[in-house]
Structure 1
Amino acid sequence: MAPFPRTPRTTLACTRFHECSKTMSAAVTAKLKEQFEAGLETRADFTIDQPIDRYSAADHAVWRQLYRRQTALLEGRVCDAFLEGVARLNVSAQSVPSFESINRQLKPATGWEIVAVPGLVPDRVFFEHLANRRFPVTWWMRRPDQLDYLQEPDCFHDLFGHVPLLIQPIFADYMHAYGRAALAASDAGALPLLARLYWYTVEFGLIRASDSPNGVQIYGAGIVSSRGETIYSQQSAAPNRLAFDLERVMCTRYRIDTFQKTYFVIDDFEQLFDVARTDFAPLLAKLADAPALAAGDVLATDRVITRGTQEGWKSDGDI
């Protein structure tokens, strides 16, 4: 996957949904190959023991810089549940956290735990972890020259971006249900539909907040771990912000090379709880032949929160 322009952004540019191989050898990205060659013992489910002793002073310094920058930026922009999660998990501001210490807080709360992985993992392995309340977290940290651009998710994206909401029961149940539904979709050849749902909720989701810019706050991991997208998603006039609708989301393409053209906004996390209770089998069958919508489309049936000016949009490249 080609890198996107060097905009001030740190997000998941290589999504797990494009690592479609079922075997370890075929799922090796350049970064993952580097990790294997480092001699880390990798199990059949792609997990490893977090190699705490391999973090350098530079790794801890990068974590510290990203943590301070993002927590300062997110005040008033991110949903309260995210910041509560950071506090309840005792996420270190000074150094790369121990996964074991995070799990001591996380597992008793929602039954979830984080497991260390060397990088992107194959789809089915990833979904099996989610279906068993395990979230794979890349162990390594980006370099100091990669603060605003990264092709693959690192520890900061995975841990800081994703894990705080897993201590919230409703979101935790949503992620569990998603993993189970994604396994079924994979078996049915309908994975793109579930990939879009993950993208527009877990990675780039917004939530209503009447006293915030454009009436929204952030909760998606791809936004909370990115300085550029944090500001753009909430304050820019360019993107569409549409009320969340499950079928609409599952039919909508997205961007991996630039900021999103459209964000879908949930009313509250209870709405995701309703999604978690969805019987996906008939829905996947219903949408199997539905045409995919462009990332920037606005339909007459949409509930529009803000219609984008389209400034800076590219005319092609939707996934």
Structure 2
Amino acid sequence: METTRHGAAAGDAGRPVSADWTIDQEWDSYTPEDHAIWRTLFERQSKLLPGRACGEFVQGLRDLTIDAGQIPDFRRLSDDLEKLTGWRVVAVPGLVPDEVFFDHLANRRFPAGQFIRRAEQLDYIEEPDVFHDVFGHVPMLAHPVFADYMEAYGKGGLRAQGMGVLANLAHVYWYTVEFGLISGVEGLRIYGSGIASSRTETIFALEDPSPNRVRFDLERVMRTLYRIDDFQETYFVIEGFDDLLALADIDFGPIYRRVSALPDLDPGSIDPADIVLHRGTGAYHKARRNVA
């Protein structure tokens, strides 16, 4: 089956007219089937996340009235979000160039793909769609500390791009915003959008014995490669969202220099300096490699 590409992944064909890559969401063009796919995805994730997603994520869903009824209208969603944390959601055709992405974040705009996956892609889609971007990301933007972290990340991304060290900072985004876990009074919980929007990874990240769960350490994370085509082999755990916001006050220059002199770490490796919360069996990925 041929895969339709969107945004930057589609090359010149996916580039919109606007320099910031924003487009009209064209909410009225969504079909009943589109809304039905949203409803299916929303309902099954909503059943899984209680007791697994952090309280801040669940509260964000409630505060923003993101529900099963229909794909949210970004204008109304943005009006509600802006009252809480000053953020807005802007529609883009799909993936956008790094500099565009960082500029949006630095100005409290979250670029969300406006297309939705097809019925045969319910469990996996290669590019982030409206369900991943809105259901997975936007609830956390209603939390003031996390919202500040995302703005700081955007500004840091623009600096890192200028310094030629973007890959290291991309690892931080991947292992926090996309696939982060948090520990607290509730126990181990999800806050990363890539987990929260995925039925299978929700269970795997928290409950499967295969992956490592390691205390977050900035330099360690910057050196750690990640999986883009499968479950993560290691999840990094913060103790609170203030841990993330504290990164905004760090001078990254010396850190980039230290990290660039060290080798990358494999996604499933354990470093001697790690604070290991759970040493995974690695069984899932071993079985996958054997099949391949």
Give the structure-2-normalised TM-score: 0.93
Pairwise CA distance, 1:31: 8.9
Gaps of 5+ in 1: 4-13, 15-26
The AA in structure 1 aligned to 2:268 is: G
Rounded to whole Å, the distance in 2 between the matches of 1:32 and 1:103 is 29
Give the Cα separation in 2 of the matches to 1:29 and 1:178. Answer: 23
> 1:276 offset after TM fit, Å?
2.3
Equivalent position of 1:205 in the other structure = 180
Change (3 A) 1:31 1:208: farther
Partner of 2:276 in structure 1?
Answer: 304
> More helix by proportion, 1 or 2?
2
SS of 1:151's partner is: coil
- Written as runs of structure 1 = structure 2, the 5 A alignment for 1:261-272 is 261-272=233-244
Quote the Cα distance in structure 2 between the aligned partners of 1:143 and 1:276.
38
Q: Secondary structure at the match of 1:247?
A: helix
Q: Secondary structure, in 3 states, of the residue corresponding to 2:229?
A: coil
CA distance in 2, matches of 1:131, 1:295: 29
Cα distance between partner residues in 2 of 1:49 and 1:69: 28
Whether 1:70 and 2:45 are equivalent positions in the alignment is yes
Please report the RMSD computed on the Cα atoms of aligned residues, expressed in angstroms.
Answer: 2.0
Normalization by structure 1: what TM-score?
0.85
5 Å matches for 1:162-173?
Answer: 162-173=137-148
Secondary structure of the residue aligned to 1:217 is: strand
Q: Which residue is equivalent to 2:10?
A: 30
Match of 1:101 in 2: 76
Contact 1:185/1:284 (<8 A) preserved? no
Q: Distance in 1 between matches of 2:271 and 2:110?
A: 35
Of all paired residues, the percent bearing the same amino acid is 50
Write the deviation string for residues 123-148 of structure 1: whole angstroms up to 9, x where unpaired. 11101111111110000111111101
Cα deviation for residue 121 of structure 1 reads: 0.5
Once the two structures are superposed, what CA deviation does each residue of 1:219-269 show, in whole Å capped at 9, x if it has no partner? 000000000000000000000000011111111111112111000000011
Contact preservation (8 Å) 1:177, 1:277: no
Spell out structure 1 runs of 4+ moving beyond 6 A.
none
| Aligned partner letter, 1:300 | P
Task: Give the structure 2 partner of residue 223 of structure 1.
Answer: 195
Query: How many residues of Structure 1 are paired with residues of Structure 2 in the alignment?
Result: 285
Q: Give distance in 1, aligned partners of 2:261 and 2:67.
A: 47
Shift of 1:302: 0.7
Unaligned stretches of 5+ in structure 2? none
Q: Return the structure number with greater relative CO, CA threshold 8 A, min gap 6.
A: 1
> 2:250 aligns to what SS in structure 1?
coil
Q: 2-side partners of 1:109 and 1:278: how far apart?
A: 26
